[in-house]
């Protein structure tokens, strides 16, 4: 961790984005986090990538971690996040990179792949397959109970009131415990999502109190305003893209114990339908993998990522 460098790069709009990086050279891997994560969620992968001769770069999105918030957080979009990825590459004078993305970071990576195809060398997604812009995700959410966490958090003000009862560290603890489970996180009609987990609940054995403090401190700084807008209140966002095909080698890593796997239609799309959009796709299942597979099983995930990069991108 002490070898990881931290710097800030400026976007075209003047926002300063925090970037963590390690390693040197022109074989660049950009790591895009999910929620409730920040750059730190890639700590295990960054060390492994640098050790194998790659340059690993993990940003905090605008409004996350140490990055500046957008001027109007309620208007932040996935398109903004994808443009920030391109701006980071521009600032660091990197023409192309492979992208590794997890959870809603896959939505960012998907838009980056479609809007900036000339900048993409390959793509690895964890937990969620490539997802084209449009109303598909909201259609799936409509099939889930009203108490499903993502439906609740789509509602302006509801999560803010729920989270506001606790400090940021406790909110992150509860979400990590909840998302590490195998069931779809769903509250009863008279219950809020944060009430599904006790504030003193034990963390997963692969996530330490020190890790939690790192996350808690950064979310205490950033708050959750942008994080609730993107992804949860932006999932229907469209993009004017004529060609929805990703034409680079890709890998999808799925944890078989990830609660997301129980979403309606997920299995059909993740194992078959996605190949309509990503024809050169390899799919790998990790039998014990949870929603946070890169933190839970870092050695297995690192081996898969390094094997893919070495064989398919920089062979």
Write down the catalytic residue from 60, 103, 211, 258: 103
Both tokens assigned to 52: 């194998």
Both tokens assigned to 141: 């959410």
Write down the catalytic residue from 64, 176, 215, 232: 232
Do 226 and 76 contact (CB within 8 A), yes or no? Answer: yes
Total Cβ atoms within 10 A of residue 287? 7
Do 180 and 292 contact (CB within 8 A), yes or no? Answer: yes
Write down the catalytic residue from 64, 80, 176, 291: 291
Q: Could you give the CA distance from residue 135 to residue 307 in angstroms, rounded to a whole number?
A: 34
90 is catalytic: no
Straight-line distance from the first to the last Cα atom of the chain, in angstroms, rounded to the nearest whole number: 28
The contacts of residue 238 (CB under 8 Å, 6+ apart) are 133, 134, 135
Do 29 and 54 contact (CB within 8 A), yes or no? Answer: yes
Both tokens assigned to 217: 């401190």
232 is catalytic: yes
Do 281 and 251 contact (CB within 8 A), yes or no? Answer: yes
103 is catalytic: yes
Q: State whether residue 93 is helix, strand or coil.
A: coil
Q: Could you give the CA distance from residue 267 to residue 263 in angstroms, rounded to a whole number?
A: 8
Do 185 and 221 contact (CB within 8 A), yes or no? Answer: no
* Burial (Cβ within 10 Å: 0-12, 13-18, ≥19) of residue 91: middle
Q: Could you give the CA distance from residue 153 to residue 246 in angstroms, rounded to a whole number?
A: 30
Residue positions annotated with a catalytic role = 103, 232, 291
């Amino acid at each position: 961790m002490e070898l990881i460098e931290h710097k800030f790069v400026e976007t075209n709009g003047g926002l300063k984005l925090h970037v963590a990086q390690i390693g040197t050279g022109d074989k660049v891997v950009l790591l895009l986090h999910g929620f409730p994560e920040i750059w730190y969620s890639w700590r295990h992968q960054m060390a492994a990538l640098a050790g194998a001769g790659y340059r690993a770069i993990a940003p905090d999105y605008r409004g996350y971690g140490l990055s500046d918030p957008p001027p109007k957080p309620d208007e932040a979009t996935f398109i903004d996040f994808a443009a920030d990825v391109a701006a980071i590459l521009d600032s660091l004078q990197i023409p192309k990179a492979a992208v590794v993305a997890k959870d809603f970071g896959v939505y960012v990576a998907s838009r980056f792949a479609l809007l900036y195809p000339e900048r993409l060398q390959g793509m690895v997604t964890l937990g969620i397959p490539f997802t084209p812009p449009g109303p598909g995700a909201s259609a799936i959410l409509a099939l889930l109970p009203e108490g499903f966490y993502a439906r609740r958090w789509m509602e302006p003000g509801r999560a803010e009131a729920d989270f506001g009862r606790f400090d940021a560290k406790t909110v992150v603890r509860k979400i990590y415990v909840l998302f590490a489970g195998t069931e779809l996180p769903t509250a009863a009609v008279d219950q809020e999502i944060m009430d599904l987990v006790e504030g003193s609940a034990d963390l997963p054995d692969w996530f330490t109190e020190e890790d939690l403090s790192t996350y808690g401190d950064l979310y205490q700084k950033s708050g959750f305003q942008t994080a609730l807008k993107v992804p949860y209140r932006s999932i229907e966002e469209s993009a004017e893209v004529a060609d929805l095909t990703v034409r680079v080698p890709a890998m999808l890593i799925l944890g078989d114990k990830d609660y997301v796997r129980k979403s309606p239609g997920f299995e059909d799309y993740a194992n078959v339908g996605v190949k309509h959009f990503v024809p050169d796709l390899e799919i790998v299942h990790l039998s014990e993998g949870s929603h946070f597979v890169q933190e839970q099983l870092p050695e297995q995930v690192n081996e898969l990522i390094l094997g893919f990069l070495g064989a398919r991108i920089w062979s």
